[in-house]
A = this chain, B = another copy of it.
Amino acid sequence: MAKIADKYFKVDSWKIIEEGFNPDYGEVSESIFSLGNEYMGVRGYFEEGYNGPKLIGSYFNGIYERTKPDYGHYKGIVDFTEYMVNSVDWLYTRICVDGEELEISKADISEFVRELDMQNGVLTRSFIWNLSNGKKLKISFERILSMTDVQVGAQRVKLTALNFDGDVEIKSGLDFSNPHCMQKMNMWEIKDILYKSGKNAFAGIEGETLHTQQRVFSACAIKADVNEFDNVKEEKKAVVKFNLLLKQNEEKKFEKIVKNFTLKEEIEENKFREDVKAVYEEFETEKENDISSMSFEQIKEDSTKWWKEIWETSDVTIDGDEENQQGIRFCIFQLFQTYHGAVKGTNIGAKGLTGEAYNGNAFWDTETYCLPFFLFNNKEAAQNLLYFRYKTLDEARERAKALDCEGAFYPIATISGKECCNLWQHASLQLQASTAVAYGIWFYEKLYQDEEFMTQYGLEMLIEISRMLVTRGDFSQDGKYGYYCVMGPDEFQMMVHNNCYTNFMGKFTLDFTLKVIEDIKKNDKKAYDEIVGKINFDESEMDKWKKVSECMYIPYHEDSLLYEQHEGFFKLPHLNIDSIPIEDFPLYNHWSYDRIYRNDMIKQPDVLMFMLLFNSHFTEEQLKVNYEYYEPRCIHESSLSPSVHSILASQLHKKDEAYDFFGFATRMDLDNYNRNTREGIHTTSIAAAWMNIIYGFGGLRTDGDIIHITPSIPQNWNKYTFKIHYMGEVIEVMVTKDKVEISTKYGKNILVQVYDEKIELGEEAYICDVK
């Protein structure tokens, strides 16, 4: 069952480097070299066209398509899905010399190098093209997505004729014609195409999705030192053609500055129309501040500055383990690329904007794994993630109705807020998306005490989730409350009763909601009354909530200190998971579907999950007993599982186990451990990798009154440092083999607990021994 690295990229602490092109890794590299800036993302595909296996993935956050219903038998069973749809390929380029078109799967190329620089977000790819007529052309492609103006992307292409003088024919522009890989058809109707030629060439194209009727307008300025641009007439493309005259050993270049506009919701229509109109006018006037005045170099400079600030306050350094150093930086880089608070009302898909697996849908991973990263690195991003749940509260209300519940039932998989999971057993039985939202609100509130957020958004969500929680469950005949027919976080136990995690989180949510209601009622009666009126809240509802919370059945065995994952779990047939042959994995592919569910094997932490989320509620003895019971039953078929176990193993001083489980956390994608990186980056696992270091080795705990740090250090590391944003400060932690040094960046006084001591951090660093 051990996962094995598939090492391909060169190890470097700041860069991801591919030396020489191996087509077998083509799609893996596309994923790894993905760029994103939250507004949009592009996979590292070859913009000059490529006939090998590829996914021309160019995505805009919140732009999705919808399948038609095909399975509408029962109430509450979702009969469609929504999926992130590939959009305009704004990097589209074709290069032709003497009638021979560059296409790497056929071309003779040498000195291929591809590099992603995590200090500025520039992706560079260069090689020498050895033409069949003996000509040699050195080419480099650069691309960047602006981090400061997220609608903007840029491409720069440099060409050097190594042994000839002559023309190169270039096509460059915007391409809406790619099919969707699963639907096997193109999902865009083109509404407009326009061109203008002047000093630069301009092209614009507007597409509309077939079913969701969302729009993307993409405009570009192509800057090349030529006299003439021709418009190319090809379906669903806005492309210009021009010739560059090369002189031997003189570098020529052209660049394309692109600005994209999305129209996702009707309410934005006026704004979108104005934006598009402005671009049309820009094309006419070429005035300042438009795309023709931008340059690749300037965008790069701005983004470099942006990234510098990120790394200064969010970097994790590891001395003595360059692989994990590269790995964790890649994780942090991808997380900030994917989300940093730029676009209100979006969420994080399972693959971010790097691929189409899981349909681009977001899961409860957002609140459970990603949110902690952002809470400690970027408040706006954390807030925006929670705001997405507020924005989609109506859809969650509809979903609750479809499931015969009151209040709000958050979707297990979603892109627009609607439940998009058409496996009913997940969509109808998993309550953890809803309780995760409550958890996220609680966590945010704990760190930021943002009363405005709580009155404006938090309270309403909490009340609606609580309403669901007291209508989805039921009282047993002996008066215990619980949830029947659920699937907890461990998806290998389906349709169970009284799943410990679900009941525990349900109780937590109800208690927290009751507290928030009391607080807001006391502190801001006016706001409180508004909410009450808005959602027709009757305080008598709280009587049932209190009763449910009091009667909530948590299957716990006093004698053994064991939480029982669900009622009856201990009676299940035992499966020795080590007896499963390696070729049976992944089990979903090799075992009969129902066989997976008939024993005490678990896929991912369930009891251990709430014991991590609410760590301070449990004694170390309880943790130890439950860890030692459940870990041997867990096959970690979820990529999120090892990190949770690593963190708890650290806490339990099981250092080897902690490091073993940490194993591939930071390099899951760089070394393609799951052999599916071609589908996209495991964005949410990447967040868990960060948690693994900070919560695991760093020993950060945040569910008590003040944050608590109990660092340890893996044997083969010399030193590591990490930073967390907390109380308006940045706390910097350095751990060496012997010492822990904790300081604040700006010298603010902050109370923290380090090991067993409460420390007031201030201007001076606090230093102690590693325990």
Chain A contacts to B: CB under 8 angstroms: 70-71, 74-77, 402-405, 424-425, 428-429, 474-478, 484-485, 494-495, 497, 567-568, 570-574, 588-595, 597-599
A592 B477 Cβ-Cβ under 8 A: no
Min Cβ gap A601→B in Å is: 12
Check B571–A567 contact: CB distance below 8 A. Answer: yes
**A477 with B594: CB separation less than 8 A:** no
Q: Which residues of B contact A75 (CB under 8 A)?
A: 589-593
- A593 contacts B484, CB within 8 Å? no
Interface CB pairs A-B, < 8 A, 7: A70-B70, A74-B588, A75-B591, A403-B595, A428-B594, A484-B573, A495-B495
CA distance A339 to B568 in the complex (A): 46
| Chain B residue with the shortest CB-CB distance to A428 | B594
A570: chain B residues at CB < 8 Å are 477
Residues A593 and B497 in contact, CB atoms below 8 Å apart: no
Q: How many whole Å from A576's CB to the nearest CB in chain B?
A: 12
Residues of B within 8 A of A594 (CB): 76, 403, 424, 428-429, 485
Closest 9 CB pairs of A and B: A76-B592, A474-B573, A74-B593, A484-B598, A404-B592, A428-B594, A495-B495, A403-B592, A485-B598
Nearest residue (CB) in B for A595 is B404
Judging by beta carbons under 8 Å apart, are B597 and A485 in contact? yes
Q: Roughly how many angstroms separate A675 CA and B639 CA in the complex, as a whole number?
A: 50
Q: Is the CB of B593 within 8 A of A76?
A: yes
Cα–Cα, bound, A477→B600 (Å): 10
Closest to A405 in B: B592
Task: Give the CA-CA distance A71 to B570 in the complex, in Å.
Answer: 34
Contact of A402 among B74, B573, B592, B598 (CB under 8 A): B592
CB distance from A319 to the nearest CB of B (A): 45
The answer for the CA separation of A494 and B74 in the assembled complex, in Å, is 15
Residues of B within 8 A of A598 (CB): 474, 484-485
Contact of A484 among B404, B429, B572 (CB under 8 A): B572
Closest CB of chain B to A742's CB: distance in Å? 47
A79 and B652 alpha carbons, distance in the complex (Å): 46
Q: Are B404 and A591 in contact (CB under 8 A)?
A: yes
Give chain B nearest CB distance to A345 CB in angstroms. Answer: 28
A76 cross-chain contacts in B, Cβ below 8 A: 592-595
How far, in whole Å, are A594 and B495 apart by their CA atoms in the complex? 9
CB of A342, distance to nearest CB on chain B (Å): 35
**Residues of B contacting A477 with CB < 8 Å?**
570-574
Scoring A70, A74, A593 by chain B CB atoms within 10 A of each residue's CB, the highest score goes to A593
What residues of B have a CB within 8 angstroms of the CB of A571 in the complex?
476-478, 497, 567
Most buried by B among A405, A495, A594: A594
For A74, the chain B residues whose CB sits under 8 A away are: 588, 592-593
Nearest B residue to A77 by beta-carbon distance?
B593
A572 contacts which chain B residues (CB < 8 A)? 476-477, 484, 497
Write out the residue numbers on chain B whose beta carbons fall within 8 Å of the beta carbon of A494: 485, 495
Residues of B within 8 A of A591 (CB): 75, 404
Q: Once the chains are docked, how many angstroms separate the CA of A74 from the CA of B426?
A: 14
A599 touches B474 (CB 8 A): yes
Other A-B contacts than A75-B590, A474-B598, 18 sampled, CB-CB below 8 A, are A74-B588, A75-B589, A75-B591, A76-B593, A403-B592, A403-B594, A403-B595, A474-B599, A476-B572, A476-B573, A477-B570, A477-B572, A484-B573, A484-B598, A485-B494, A494-B495, A497-B568, A567-B571
Q: Which residues of B lie under 8 Å from residue A70 when comparing CB positions? A: 70
Complex CA distance for A234 and B599, rounded to whole angstroms: 61
Q: How far is the CB of A592 from chain B (nearest CB, A)?
A: 4
Docked Cα-Cα span, A477 to B405, in Å, equals 37
Q: Please, how many angstroms separate the alpha-carbon atoms of A570 and B402 in the complex?
A: 28
Contact of A568 among B71, B429, B567, B589 (CB under 8 A): B567
Q: How far is the CB of A573 from chain B (nearest CB, A)?
A: 4
Contact indicator B424/A593 (Cβ below 8 Å): yes
Q: Which of B428, B475, B478, B592 contacts A592 (CB 8 A)?
A: B428
Q: Tell me the complex Cα distance, A270–B495, Å.
A: 52
Instruction: Report the minimum CB–CB distance from A501 to chain B (whole Å).
Output: 18
Residue of B nearest to A497 (CB): B568
Cα separation A599 to B483 with both chains bound (whole Å): 11
